[in-house]
Amino acid sequence: MRTLLDNRLYHRFATSTQWLVAAASVLQLLVSGYQYYLVQHIDQVTPSDVTLLDEWQPVLGYGRLGVVLLAFTAFITWFYRGYDNLHRVRETPLPSQASGWAIGGWFVPIMNFWYPYRLMKELWHLTQRHALGVPVSPDYGLVKGWWTLRLASLIVARLAQSATDASPSNLDQLHDATVVLIVSVGLDLGYALVTLVLLRQQGRHETQLAERYAVNGPVKTPASA
């Protein structure tokens, strides 16, 4: 067996960036909620209200996009190292794919709608299997919920972008665009929170795996660090 990769730092980074996504999403929800309120009470809107929204919406939008990209990079790096550790254990059952697909699967068109989910299920199952040393029947409910939220957030984010690009020309269009934006950001927030739960649970499984295969005694991993 090859030495397992120490995934502690990558787990912390993935967790921290997901918290940043959650915080940025809350801020965006507050501003978007304020915009929705103004649309509903258009007769009370002042020039300063319009100026405030014009200044903060782009800042929060681009800022949140940057944080989401950072969190995505941190997550798939942690994901790759965890999947590669299953190859390093070299016990049956073995992972079905090469470690590189833990990153590549996220970027191949069409395939990226289901392939990362398949590998996450495998990571979830085999980490527990090898950590305990006995066959297990894991509950995939958390993984299924996590992937469902991801797909939903991607689809609604595309709708929100289309609505924004269309430059609403009347109150009805602005209302609809604001509602879609609020739903999109809300899904991003939910996805970040569920991802945090997934990271926490998988971190515990990694702890057990590292302790079982430690060469010089138990090794601290994400959940115990």
Question: Cα torsion for 213, 219, 223, 225, to the nearest 10°?
Answer: -170
- Mean of the pLDDT values across residues 56-64? 87
- Mean of the pLDDT values across residues 40-48? 82
71 contacts 18 by C-beta, under 8 angstroms:
yes
11 contacts 203 by C-beta, under 8 angstroms:
yes
Tell me the C-alpha to C-alpha distance, in Å, between residue 37 and each of 29, 123, 163: 12, 44, 18
What DSSP assignment string belongs to 22-65? HHHHHHHHHHHHHHHHHHHTGGG--HHHHHHHHHHHHHHHHHHH
| Cα separation, 84 vs 97, whole angstroms | 10
- 120-163: pLDDT as tens digits: 999 999 999 999 888 899 999 999 999 999 999 999 999 988 87
CB-based contacts of 165: which residues, under 8 Å, 6+ apart?
A: none
Q: How high is the pLDDT of residue 225?
A: 41
199 contacts 11 by C-beta, under 8 angstroms:
yes
Q: How high is the pLDDT of residue 215?
A: 56
Q: How many CB atoms lie within 10 A of CB 193?
A: 16
